[in-house]
Amino acid sequence: MPTAKPPEGLAFDRIPTPAGEALVMWDAAGLLRVFDWGGYEPRMQRLLARHYGPVTPKTDRAPAALRTALAAYFDGDLASIDTIECATGGTTFQRTVWAALRDIPAGQTESYGQLAARIGLPKAVRAVGLANGANPIGLVVPCHRVIGASGSLTGYGGGIERKRWLLSHEGAAFRLAA
């Protein structure tokens, strides 16, 4: 069952980036609703349906401010994605986790346990992991900055190699799996 009413004026674009093709959707107010990666369209559609029910966005060119902020991020201005305004469906708990993700600065990482503790629910590590995995606005809501308690890379909806690329781009410390 959807958690929110479908946004008005939903539009879709594909944007090339050094980390691969980005899939973006925004609403009539210009709020980013989806950021995903090329090759992950089925996952993106599942998340959209879960949040809003069936949606059919129009194809359009992404707003200039969104394109500019993303280009700046990939050119090294890592804080530029912090200026992108977003909106999501999701449960209250998911939105709490996603808001906390935006508080992790570029170049830093947190474990699922640290994130759970920071939102005041230290025993909710698995629920935090599930919310992290249901994040419809990857990169901008930086779920890639969440790593295992040992400092190792854990799953990422855009693929582990892309997570490695993003964290390296941001200068974050992590361990490679043995």
For the chain, what is the radius of gyration of the CA atoms? 15
Catalytic residue set: 143
User: In whole angstroms, what is the distance from residue 66 CA to residue 84 CA?
Assistant: 7
> Tokens 């969440």, residue?
146
CB atoms within 10 A of CB 80: 17
CA 171 and chain centroid, separation? 18
- DSSP run (H or E) holding 24: strand 22-26
